């Protein structure tokens, strides 16, 4: 899965998206200038291939919401967790509404799925997770996440839980450094794995791996770990959905690589052979560990080189899993959705808790 530089495709990007080794596009804020232009870009991507390329985005709400103007400003999901402590029934209902609202707006413009919801626990130590998590209690996270995913499914969207097996107990930000978790497996299993298992038992279609080293369990980050992705996730937790890697351009993925210590997880943009070798190494390690699809973002030159160097790589099992991630149902158009009473009611409900005392607690 790769990204694009602007609100339209360049000739080089179009060529990359035609590569058989590219299966999807992730959109960012830079791809949005207006709803109309975004819809045209999505239509252009869809027209390139059959079956269509998957189109994804991070539209969690709160700090991580790529599309804002023209879309409902979604509160951080931690507000639902705070509400749950005093009004559990209302919090559960609003979790369903929030999942539906997020998903229905994205489906109305042709986006297949958002990388959501967060299943990490809010231990109060991770700045990169923080209010992106529902709660610190794994049972509360499980309940609210199941309701949120139910809302997404009602809108024709599958969910991707993240970041397996749990990113909430480390302070480091994997975008810029390597997080290390020193806990024992039993502790992680009794806490962080609980929401993942609950969601898997409820038919979760996708998961994203964490660029975190759990040093008392495996020296590799989870993204590169057969122990985590195959032994624990596939065998013990019986997960049959898609495993996405987190972005392989992140520093934590580089920190766990071999041989090329260049001090940065970002490409220098010049297609240097050592850089491309490093990205190919990361890709092969992730695929070998059990990832079905890897993300390479903000590094178009290396994404192109990796696509070329993967050659005739083919994994029919992964392709079958990925077909499930295509958006379902026949979504309303952008304007028809906004004219519907269901959408208007959902917006009113979400705005009611965004402006509540719970919102003040989260600031």
Distance (Å) of CA 137 to CA 19, 168, 212: 43, 12, 21
Q: How many CB atoms lie within 10 A of CB 66?
A: 18
CATH 2.60.40.10 fits 76-295+312-362, yes or no: no
Q: What is the DSSP letter of 53?
A: P
Task: Tokens 């309701």: give the residue.
Answer: 147
Q: 87, exposed or middle or buried, with CB in 10 Å at 0-12, 13-18, 19+? A: middle
Residue 114 near residue 353, CB atoms below 8 Å: no
The residues assigned a catalytic role are 175, 246
Could you state, in order of their start, the residue ranges of all structural domains in the chain?
Answer: 76-295+312-362
List of the chain residues with pLDDT < 70: 255-275, 355-363
Instruction: Kindly give, in sequence order, each residue whose CB lies less than 8 Å from that of residue 127, ignoring residues fewer than 6 positions away.
Output: 171, 173
Residue-wise pLDDT tens digits, 237-258: 999 999 999 999 998 888 444 4
Does residue 157 contact residue 107 with C-beta atoms inside 8 Å? yes
What is the spatial distance between Cα 21 and Cα 16, in angstroms, rounded to a whole number? 9
- Looking at residue 357, its pLDDT comes to 55
User: CA quadruple 32, 35, 36, 38: dihedral positive or negative?
Assistant: positive
pLDDT of residue 274: 59
For residue 330, the model assigns a pLDDT of: 87
Q: What is the pLDDT of residue 354?
A: 72
SS (H, E, C) 192-247: CHHHHHHHHHCCCCEEEECCCEECCCCCCEHHHCHHHHHHHHHHHCCCCCEEEEEE
């Amino acid at each position: 899965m790769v990204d694009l530089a602007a609100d339209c495709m360049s000739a080089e990007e179009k060529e990359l998206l035609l590569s058989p080794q590219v299966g999807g596009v992730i959109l960012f804020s830079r791809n949005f200038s207006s709803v109309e232009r975004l819809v045209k870009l999505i239509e252009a991507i869809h027209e390139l291939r059959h079956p269509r390329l998957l189109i994804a985005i991070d539209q969690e709400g709160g700090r991580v919401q790529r599309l804002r103007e023209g879309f409902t400003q979604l509160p951080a999901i931690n507000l639902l967790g705070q509400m749950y402590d005093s009004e559990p029934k209302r919090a559960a209902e609003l979790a369903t509404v929030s999942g539906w609202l997020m998903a229905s707006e994205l489906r109305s413009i042709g986006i297949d799925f958002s990388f959501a919801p967060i299943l990490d626990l809010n231990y109060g130590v991770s700045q990169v997770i923080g209010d992106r998590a529902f709660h610190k209690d794994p049972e509360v996270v499980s309940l609210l996440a199941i309701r949120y995913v139910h809302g997404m499914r009602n809108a024709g969207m599958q969910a991707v839980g993240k970041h397996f097996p749990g990113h909430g107990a480390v302070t480091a930000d994997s975008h810029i450094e390597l997080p290390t978790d020193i806990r024992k497996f039993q502790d992680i299993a009794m806490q962080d794995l609980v929401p993942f298992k609950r969601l898997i038992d409820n038919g979760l279609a996708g998961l994203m791996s964490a660029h975190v080293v759990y040093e008392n369990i495996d020296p590799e980050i989870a993204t590169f770990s057969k122990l985590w992705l195959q032994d624990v996730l596939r065998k013990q937790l019986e997960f049959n959905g898609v495993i996405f890697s987190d972005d392989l351009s992140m520093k934590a993925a580089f920190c766990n690589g071999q041989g090329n210590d260049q001090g940065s997880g970002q490409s220098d943009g010049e297609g240097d052979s050592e850089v491309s070798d490093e990205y190919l190494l990361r890709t092969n390690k992730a695929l070998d560990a059990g990832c079905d699809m890897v993300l390479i973002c903000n590094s178009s030159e290396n994404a192109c080189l990796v696509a070329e160097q993967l050659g005739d790589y083919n994994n029919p099992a992964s392709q079958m899993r990925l077909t499930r991630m295509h958006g379902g149902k026949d979504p309303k158009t952008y304007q028809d959705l906004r004219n519907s009473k269901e959408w208007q009611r959902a917006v009113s409900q979400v705005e009611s808790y965004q402006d509540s005392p719970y919102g003040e607690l989260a600031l």
